[in-house]
């Protein structure tokens, strides 16, 4: 997809979602600020949930989880830089990168919420049902 079309699709999806920040943004700088706020909010929600989730893990599982989180963060950064690479020298780069990072944070939060709600007896459940 053409970089401009990608950005317009992203912006259109956001505006369609009713996000007031994006609706009032009329410059790329304002849109970048909205994307940064979106990223900050997604990261904050993920961090809050992660801290709570960690309290449910045994020391051994906590170590594994933290290692997984480091790897996930490296993946998230690399993947989003790759996804935004077509606009790396453009004014939309901060927006595209931050929107990607925010989406990955929301996806990871969803994954962790699923893991935290697994049922007793589920052998793929890393928590101990507490």
Pick the CATH number of 27-115 from 3.20.20.70, 3.40.50.720, 1.20.1270.180, 1.20.120.1200: 1.20.1270.180
Residues 45-86: tens digit of each pLDDT: 999 999 999 999 999 999 999 999 999 999 999 999 999 999
- How many Å apart are CA 77 and CA 85, to the nearest integer? 12
97: CB partners within 8 A, 6+ apart: 80, 81, 84
CA–CA separation, 98 and 59 (whole Å): 33
The alpha carbon of 65 is separated from its chain's Cα centroid by a whole number of angstroms, namely: 17
Residues 130, 127: Cα–Cα separation, whole Å: 7
User: Model-level pTM?
Assistant: 0.80
Which residue ranges make up each domain of the chain?
27-115
């Amino acid at each position: 997809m053409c970089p401009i079309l990608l950005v317009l699709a992203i912006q259109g999806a956001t505006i369609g979602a009713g996000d007031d920040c994006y609706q009032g943004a009329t410059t790329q700088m304002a849109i970048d600020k909205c994307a940064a706020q979106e990223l900050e909010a997604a990261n904050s929600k993920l961090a809050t949930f992660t801290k709570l989730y960690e309290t449910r893990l045994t020391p051994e599982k906590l170590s594994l989880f933290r290692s997984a989180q480091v790897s996930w963060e490296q993946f998230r950064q690399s993947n989003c830089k790759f996804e935004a690479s077509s606009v790396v020298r453009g004014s939309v780069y901060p927006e595209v990168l931050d929107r990607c990072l925010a989406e990955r944070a929301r996806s990871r939060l969803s994954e962790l919420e699923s893991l935290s709600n697994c049922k007793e007896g589920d052998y793929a459940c890393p928590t101990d049902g507490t």
